[in-house]
């Protein structure tokens, strides 16, 4: 290379001179720049080689030396193609080939990405150049032929090419996404579209949740709204305002899940033993906020009692309680409502009965029974579903409602009992065992 540079400075004429050369040879005009290669064309009188023009070509890579293109032109017979010789009359070094391929890859990649106008095309470009089977990965295979002393420089150049391609990709992606990418048929992700879920076996709502939703729907058709309340309650709402005296056995610690010690705490907290607490809170809020009475609500939810688990009892179960307070409400309204409820949920011909009973928060009180066959082939029998009655005047007074003007009824059912009655489930424990063979039937 050094010898060539020294020789160039001594050559007599630069390319482009059109005057005739000696020995009757014709000059050739210099070739234009081609495919990004730089060249220097010189007209020389080189007698030994008999050439009229010497072209020195530089590839893109600065690591690859120039080569000489020698063209001999007899006066009457011009050649159809030039004869080419490396400048040092030897093959290029392996690292030169490797670096030249990287430079060529970079130039081609930068040109191609400017033609991409949509997201799909951009992904195709990324796979073609930066993918695991892309052009850059393929070009790196030649790294093994690079001499050990040249590997650091070659590796640095490879990293630089990769970084340049990645940067070009990110810039082009931002530009395409910023313009929408849809004008040219590109894919646009719409985050408002619902997701697609493919599975061989989809989940389903638990049978208790299904029954609860069915009951709420039936009650809604009867004009009841849904009210909710906390599962961790205090003594005032769980007992006192429900007209349950301090010495009542229902307050006994053996029958409740107390959080605070009732012997040392003035208002002990416990897991609610009935959803009647929601009725108390609803009446208090209606009076406080001035929107009731009239009040017509249901309160579905979990309740907790330390009962012995058997076929019809559990320490945790679900209740659905209803409350209606208005002027002139009577026991006739209660029985009519319960009959309409039973026929709407179980169908026409449902048999119900009310048995006299006693509850501290209702007067008069009754047990609500229904004729149900729990097992196929078994004769129907009366099954207790819950209690009901007219709201005790003391309960209305505790909530700030005048019992001389307003009256009401309340009722409460076990959702598990209703589910067992409708679907013929013989044992309440089946609802909590999570046996898929059982749950898939509903």
At residue 427 the predicted structure's pLDDT band, cuts being 50, 70 and 90, is very high
- Asked if residue 54 has pLDDT above 60, the reply is no
pLDDT in tens, 202-241: 778 899 999 999 999 999 999 999 999 999 999 999 999 9
Residues 83 and 62 in one domain: yes
Directed axis angle between helix 207-221 and helix 415-423, to 10°?
A: 100
Q: Phi and psi at residue 266, in whole multiples of 5°?
A: -65, -45
Q: Return the ∠ at Cα 254 (arms to 304 and 354), rounded to 5°.
A: 60
Q: What's the confidence (pLDDT) of residue 148?
A: 86
What tokens does 91 get? 């093959």
Residues 247 and 367 in one domain: yes
- Asked if residue 337 has pLDDT above 80, the reply is yes
The C-alpha atoms of residue 128 and residue 105 are separated, in whole angstroms, by 11
Residues 12 and 126 in one domain: no
Mean of pLDDT values over 355-370? 93
Structural contact between residues 223 and 337, judged by C-beta atoms closer than 8 angstroms: no
Question: For residue 348, is it within any domain?
Answer: yes
Place of tokens 């940067």: 167
Q: Phi and psi at residue 115, in whole multiples of 5°?
A: -90, -5
Residues 84 and 99 in one domain: no
Average pLDDT over all residues of the chain: 79
Q: What's the confidence (pLDDT) of residue 198?
A: 66
Q: Which of 360, 364, 274 is nearest to 322 (CA)?
A: 274
Residues 359 and 434 in one domain: yes
How large a percentage of the chain has pLDDT more than 70?
A: 75
- Asked if residue 71 has pLDDT above 70, the reply is no
Mean of pLDDT values over 398-414? 95
Q: How far is CA 125 from CA 65, 111, 122, 165, 409, in A?
A: 32, 11, 5, 10, 74
Greater pLDDT, 113 or 43:
113
Q: What's the confidence (pLDDT) of residue 241?
A: 95
Question: For residue 267, is it within any domain?
Answer: yes
- Domain hosting residue 32, numbered range: 2-92
The C-alpha atoms of residue 168 and residue 311 are separated, in whole angstroms, by 71
pLDDT in tens, 125-141: 989 998 888 888 888 88
Residues 135 and 230 in one domain: no
Q: What's the confidence (pLDDT) of residue 306?
A: 94
pLDDT in tens, 153-185: 888 888 999 999 999 988 888 888 776 544 445
Residues 26 and 136 in one domain: no
Residues 416 and 360 in one domain: yes
Question: For residue 189, is it within any domain?
Answer: no
Total domains in the fold of the chain: 3
Residues 365 and 261 in one domain: yes
CATH of the domain at 307: 3.30.930.10
pLDDT in tens, 275-333: 999 999 999 999 999 998 999 999 999 999 999 999 889 999 999 999 999 999 999 99
Residues 238 and 360 in one domain: yes
Structural contact between residues 344 and 218, judged by C-beta atoms closer than 8 angstroms: yes
Task: Provide the phi-psi class of 386: left if phi over 0, else alpha when psi is between -120 and 50, else beta.
Answer: left
- Asked if residue 3 has pLDDT above 50, the reply is no
The C-alpha atoms of residue 13 and residue 11 are separated, in whole angstroms, by 6
- Asked if residue 70 has pLDDT above 70, the reply is no
Q: How far is CA 280 from CA 150, 227, 360, in A?
A: 87, 11, 14
Instruction: Give the pTM.
Output: 0.54
Structural contact between residues 299 and 321, judged by C-beta atoms closer than 8 angstroms: yes
At residue 186 the predicted structure's pLDDT band, cuts being 50, 70 and 90, is low
């Amino acid at each position: 290379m050094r010898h060539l540079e020294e020789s160039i400075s001594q050559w007599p004429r630069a390319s482009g001179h059109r005057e005739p050369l000696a020995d009757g040879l014709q000059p050739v005009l210099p070739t234009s720049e081609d495919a990004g290669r730089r060249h220097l064309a010189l007209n020389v009188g080189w007698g030994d080689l008999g050439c009229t023009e010497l072209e020195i070509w530089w590839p893109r890579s600065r690591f690859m030396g120039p080569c000489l293109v020698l063209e001999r032109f007899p006066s009457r017979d011009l050649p159809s193609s030039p004869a080419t010789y490396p400048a040092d009359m030897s093959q290029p070094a392996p690292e030169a080939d490797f670096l030249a391929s990287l430079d060529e890859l970079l130039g081609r990649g930068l040109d191609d990405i400017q033609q991409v106008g949509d997201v799909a095309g951009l992904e195709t470009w990324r796979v073609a150049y930066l993918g695991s089977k892309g052009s850059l990965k393929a070009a790196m295979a030649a790294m093994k032929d690079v001499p050990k002393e040249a590997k650091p420089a070659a590796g640095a150049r490879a990293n630089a090419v990769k970084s340049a391609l990645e940067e070009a990709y990110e810039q082009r992606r931002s530009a395409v996404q910023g313009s929408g990418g849809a004008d040219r048929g590109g894919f646009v992700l719409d985050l408002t579209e619902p997701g697609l879920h493919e599975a061989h076996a989809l989940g389903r709502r638990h049978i208790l949740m299904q029954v609860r939703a069915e009951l709420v729907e039936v009650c809604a058709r009867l004009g009841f709204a849904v009210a909710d309340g906390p599962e961790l309650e205090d003594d005032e709402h769980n007992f006192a305002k429900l007209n349950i005296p301090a010495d009542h056995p229902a307050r006994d610690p053996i029958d409740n899940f107390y959080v605070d010690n009732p012997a040392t705490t003035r208002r002990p907290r416990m897991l609610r033993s009935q959803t009647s607490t929601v009725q108390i809170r609803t009446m208090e809020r209606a009076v406080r906020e001035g929107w009731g009475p009239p009040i017509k609500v249901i309160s579905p939810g979990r309740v907790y009692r330390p009962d012995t688990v058997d076929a019809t009892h559990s320490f945790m179960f679900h209740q659905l309680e209803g409350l209606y307070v208005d002027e002139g409400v009577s026991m006739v309204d209660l029985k009519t409502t319960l009959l309409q409820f039973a026929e709407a949920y179980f169908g026409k011909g449902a048999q119900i009965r009310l048995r006299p009973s006693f509850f501290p928060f209702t007067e008069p009180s009754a047990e609500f029974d229904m004729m149900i066959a729990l097992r196929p082939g078994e004769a129907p029998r009366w099954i207790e579903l819950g209690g009901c009655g007219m709201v005790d005047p003391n309960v209305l007074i505790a909530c700030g409602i005048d019992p001389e003007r307003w009256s009401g009824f309340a009722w409460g059912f076990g959702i598990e009992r209703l589910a067992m009655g409708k679907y013929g489930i013989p044992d309440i424990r089946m609802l909590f065992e999570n046996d898929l063979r059982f749950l898939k039937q509903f």
